Amino acid sequence: MEEIRIYKKNDSDSSDTLYKKIKIKDTEIDGNLFLAPTAGYSDKPFRQICSDLGSSFNYTEMVSCEAIIRDNEKTLKIMEAAENEKMRAIQIFTGSPESAVKSIKNILKFKPSLIDLNCGCPVPKILKSGAGSDLMKTPDKIREIVKAITENTDIPVSIKVRSGFTSDSINFLECAQMAIEGGASLIALHPRTRAQGYSGEANWNHIKLLKDSVNIPVIGSGDLNTPFDAKRMLKETGCDGVMFARGSFGNPFIFQQTRDLLLNNTNPSEPLFTDKMKIAYRHLILAIDFYGEDIAVKEIKKHLCSYTKGIPGAKEIRDKFVRCNNLTDYENVFNSLISE
């Protein structure tokens, strides 16, 4: 299938615009549009698609330090770089400085540009291990883990954090300070509490407060569903960059659209239906190359269904994708959709 336009950096990229480079310790990232670490979504195939369509920097799905130490095959595979990823972050989760240190040797084999400590995951099984947003209950432990990593590698270390564990314990500023004392070089904030999960509204004012309080780059996340949301967050909070999560699912075009909006102040055009289907099909092929056909044809369904958002007749298209059991089934669906 014919490819659509792929993002390429050009001389119009200017530090005078909201689209700019970000310096993290000795590492410079060409732009400030990030793909968030999202379990089940920010895998190698999707990261490759997003990089092609303008993502400046990607985060892997989070991986367990304990699993890294054990050389767990599935975990190690998650850390692989996509072919077009010159730079990326590997996000880890752990509740133990000792576990973090033991995992570094294996992490470094995958040559990340940044190691990110997850301090925000709200999933109960992660919390039970003392990791994710459970770390926000004991900010000192964030400092200990970050320090343990920074003392054992020259690669920049960052954290991704929430506003607090509950609305009664908003402590993102304290957690950020502990991370900085440990040697963190960047902080990403999703301004919801652990108790909120992904419900309610993200409090962007917390991003502004964080940016005004620290002297390292701050990346904002939460409720970024359009290029205009990203522009507004950058202007209202002063954050250094934005991190797309759910807003990118089935819509990797959002990176290219946002870059165009920030650089040229032009209203981004919506991709044509055929463009969406071409990228969706390419996503399928990349997934098969990565997982093998048997696994990929199941794992890809949630992605392909996301590509149908906002399309007339989306329910019927999703029904067709859900019924597919192999590559031939998918190819028949794609060919019929594009020919129509």
DSSP, residue by residue, 25-44: TTEEES-SEEE---TTTSSH
Q: How many CA atoms lie within 13 A of 338 on its CB side?
A: 16
How far is CA 94 from each of CA 78, 254, 274, rounded to the nearest angstrom?
16, 31, 43
> Could you say which DSSP state residue 106 is in?
H
CB environment 47-63: b (16+ within 10 A), e (fewer): bbbbbbbbbbbbbbbbb
Positive/negative CA dihedral, 198, 61, 124, 116: negative
The DSSP 8-state label assigned to residue 138 in this structure reads: -
Catalytic residue among 119, 121, 305, 324: 121
Tell me the two tokens of residue 7: 């993002």
Active site residue 121: yes
The residues carrying an active-site annotation are: 121
